[in-house]
Amino acid sequence: MNYFKKILRYALPYKGYAVLNILSNAFYALFGTLAMVSLIPMINVLFGEGEKISVKPDITTANSYMNFAIDSFNYFLTQKLEQDGPEGTLVFLIFIIISLFLLKNLFGYLALYFITFLRNGIVKDLRNDLYGHSLELPIAYYSDQRKGDLMSRILADVNEVQSSTLSFLELIVREPLTILFGLASMFFISADLTLFVLLFIPVSGFLISQLGKKLKKHSTKVQEESGVLLSTIEETFGGIRVIKGFVAEKSFMSKFSKTTSRYNNFSNRLMHRQNLAGPVSEFLGIVTITALLWYGGNLVLVKHTISGGAFIGFMSLAYQILTPAKAMSKASYSVKRGNAAAERVMSILETQNTITDTPDALTKFDFSTAITFENVSFKYDNDMVLKNVSLEVKKGQTLALVGQSGSGKSTIANLLSRFYDVTEGSISIDGRDIRQIQKSALRSTMGLVTQESILFNDSIRNNLLLGKESATDEDMIHALKIANAWEFVEKLPEGIDTNIGDSGNKLSGGQKQRLSIARAVLKNPPIMILDEATSALDTESEQLVQVALENMMRNRTSIVIAHRLSTIKNADIIVVMRRGEIVEMGNHNSLMSTDGNYKKLIELQSFQ
């Protein structure tokens, strides 16, 4: 129950509601029991049984308050019978019974009413924390996890936790109280019979606990499989063009149906087990009741130690405590499932962010002199993808990174934005290690244009506002003009308020690139990191993008991962990468004059 306990911390802000729930449940249990007890005088009246008391009881002579209360009630009833006869008394008793059941259900509803705030509050806070924490987690975490699994934790597992909190409260308050009150009344009616009933409880308890044993394992499997399910759906929708283009519908369908079959399989097993809980405890209950009938019947018929009415009342009470016993066994399963879900939820919350700000990190920072890489080595997993990289870019310069695919160019951009921390060596800006600058301050000085344009399903305006929240329409149009994007945005039916579709799919490739450039321009950062897209654009849009890039780099310090000859040519420093190492460094003319990798690369490009 460890994980579940951790989740219960989320209930703390709502503890007032928990208290109200507990109070209401106490009344629920009390009136539930009284309602059953009130059947006794009714049956006694029906069959003309029951104690007749014609002398008004006196509190000073009674041996207990309880006896005094019962005697008073019987005295009152005797009076009533004499006055109104059995029919009139019956109506009166029915009125009492109805009132008691009404009160019981009223408090039952109130208990649920209050707990609703707690349940939904937990869901809200938990989801907010999960989302907030997810935003904090480093990029590396997302490379290792399945997105669908994370989604399933934030959606399905949180729901599971929610429903089990309710079960938990029922388990520890409502049902135990109902049982307690019930047992107390039963004891009062007949201690003998109650002891007899109690013999059966440990036996049932043992049988029921056996059932719950494998539940957590099954439940975890079900939730894991639902993560796979979500992942598949998410990837399918994201890659629908490729799936259709490669006529891969069948293979995706079969992959999906394998997942649903496994899911089906696991949830069948889980539900079969859960479904057993009800019938098993009901049957065990009936066994107890029939044993009671036999034993209690003897007491009524042969030994005459209790009245028929009391016996029926007792039976009703016994049945009444069976329901909570059943509910408790069900609730304990639900809590077990909740624990499995809580474990999955907590594992996100407990994932430590490895990319942290040092306590003395700068909160505000202005770039003034240079960016320096000193002997930087880096590995994502096992193999070093950058080895001993040293370079320097002075303020105002443009550094171009060139080299074959997989040589580590994007990795350098990742390290500078601190999406990952270097494995060895250091990166510093103005002589200060970037680990000593707050991530937010560091990233505010940088504009990032990634290799693939990352846009959101929203209007152009809102996509641009990510760059600068306070931007005015003029600012946006200015940025769009620099990015060479205004000419197409202007023509859109709703201008900058046009929705660009999922991941910007209503735009062309070149338009998307220009829009992400505009977003970076709007941010107007001193340092620009640009991972040029390699995707082949037609000559015209290539030129449009090229002009956009040149506009953007003007008067800025830029690190450009360059594929276009013209971008490279104008760079102050060109770094040629090969398998994670710098093999050549210089400007265009100096590199062309040495007959090396760079010259070969350029010659290859010129042939295209």
Q: Which stretch binds ligand ATP (CB under 6 A): 125-133, 271-279, 298-306, 408-416?
A: 408-416
Three-state secondary structure call for residue 433: strand
Look at the block and give the residue holding tokens 């276009």: 564
Residues numbered 442 to 501 that lie near ligand ATP (CB under 6 A) are 451
Choose the contact partner of 60 out of ligand ATP, Mg ion, none; CB within 5 to 8 A by kind: none
Choose the contact partner of 405 out of ligand ATP, Mg ion, none; CB within 5 to 8 A by kind: ligand ATP
Q: DSSP label at 577?
A: E
Residue by residue, DSSP assigns 524-571 as --SEEEEE---SPPPHHHHHHHHHHHHHHHTTSEEEEE--SHHHHHT-
Shortest Å, Cβ 411 to ligand ATP? 3
Choose the contact partner of 408 out of Mg ion, ligand ATP, none; CB within 5 to 8 A by kind: ligand ATP
Choose the contact partner of 517 out of Mg ion, ligand ATP, none; CB within 5 to 8 A by kind: none
Q: Which stretch binds Mg ion (CB under 5 A): 52-60, 212-220, 257-265, 404-412?
A: 404-412
Q: Which stretch binds ligand ATP (CB under 6 A): 158-166, 192-200, 308-316, 407-415?
A: 407-415
Q: Which is nearer to ligand ATP, 108 or 408 (CB)?
A: 408
407 touches ligand ATP (CB under 6 A): yes
Choose the contact partner of 525 out of Mg ion, ligand ATP, none; CB within 5 to 8 A by kind: none
Residues numbered 337 to 376 that lie near ligand ATP (CB under 6 A) are none
What is the distance between the alpha carbons of residues 393 and 397, in angstroms, rounded to a whole number? 6
227: its two tokens: 């993560």
CB of 172 closer than 8 Å to CB of 21: no
**Judged by CB under 5 A, which of 72, 410, 426, 436 binds Mg ion?**
410
Shortest Å, Cβ 526 to ligand ATP? 23
Mention every residue, 6+ apart, whose C-beta is less than 8 A from residue 543: none
Q: Which is nearer to ligand ATP, 366 or 381 (CB)?
A: 381
Chain-centroid distance of CA 215 in Å reads 21
Torsion of CA 181, 187, 190, 191, to 10 degrees: 160
Q: DSSP label at 47?
A: T
Shortest Å, Cβ 562 to ligand ATP? 10
**Judged by CB under 6 A, which of 32, 408, 447, 467 binds ligand ATP?**
408
| Long-range contacts from 548-553, C-beta under 8 angstroms, 24+ separation | 548/482, 548/483, 548/484, 548/485, 548/513, 548/514, 548/517, 548/518, 549/517, 551/482, 551/483, 551/484, 551/521, 552/482, 552/483, 552/517, 552/520, 552/521, 552/528, 553/398, 553/528
145: its two tokens: 């996890």
Which amino acid, 237?
F
Q: Which is nearer to Mg ion, 149 or 531 (CB)?
A: 531
> In degrees, to the nearest 5, what angle opens at C-alpha 467 toward C-alphas 568 and 536?
40
**Judged by CB under 6 A, which of 105, 377, 410, 445 binds ligand ATP?**
410
Q: Which stretch binds ligand ATP (CB under 6 A): 366-374, 403-411, 504-512, 567-575?
A: 403-411
**Judged by CB under 6 A, which of 380, 506, 573, 599 binds ligand ATP?**
380
**Judged by CB under 6 A, which of 87, 360, 381, 595 binds ligand ATP?**
381
444 touches Mg ion (CB under 5 A): no
Choose the contact partner of 380 out of ligand ATP, Mg ion, none; CB within 5 to 8 A by kind: ligand ATP
Q: Which stretch binds Mg ion (CB under 5 A): 46-54, 186-194, 335-343, 406-414?
A: 406-414
Shortest Å, Cβ 331 to ligand ATP? 44
> In degrees, to the nearest 5, what angle opens at C-alpha 43 toward C-alphas 39 and 46?
145
Shortest Å, Cβ 601 to ligand ATP? 12
What is the distance between the alpha carbons of residues 246 and 377, in angstroms, rounded to a whole number? 39
Q: Which is nearer to ligand ATP, 128 or 390 (CB)?
A: 390
Q: Which is nearer to Mg ion, 346 or 529 (CB)?
A: 529
Residue by residue, DSSP assigns 328-397 as HHHHHHHHHHHHHHHHHHHHHHTPPPSS---TT-BSS----SEEEEEEEEEESSSSEEEEEEEEEEETT-
Shortest Å, Cβ 175 to ligand ATP? 50
450 touches Mg ion (CB under 5 A): no
Q: Which is nearer to ligand ATP, 193 or 416 (CB)?
A: 416
Choose the contact partner of 548 out of ligand ATP, Mg ion, none; CB within 5 to 8 A by kind: none
Residues numbered 142 to 201 that lie near ligand ATP (CB under 6 A) are 143
Look at the block and give the residue holding tokens 């992942």: 231
Q: Which is nearer to ligand ATP, 555 or 608 (CB)?
A: 608
Q: Which is nearer to ligand ATP, 87 or 383 (CB)?
A: 383
Q: Which stretch binds ligand ATP (CB under 6 A): 310-318, 405-413, 424-432, 587-595?
A: 405-413
CB of 550 closer than 8 Å to CB of 557: no
What is the distance between the alpha carbons of residues 459 and 500, in angstroms, rounded to a whole number? 6
Residue 160 CB neighbour total at 10 angstroms = 22
Residues numbered 86 to 125 that lie near ligand ATP (CB under 6 A) are none
Residue by residue, DSSP assigns 483-506 as TT-HHHHTTSTTGGG-B--GGGTT
411 touches ligand ATP (CB under 6 A): yes
What is the distance between the alpha carbons of residues 236 and 253, in angstroms, rounded to a whole number? 10
85 touches ligand ATP (CB under 6 A): no
468: its two tokens: 């600068």
- Site residues, Mg ion (CB under 5 A): 410
- Site residues, ligand ATP (CB under 6 A): 143, 380-381, 385, 405-411, 451
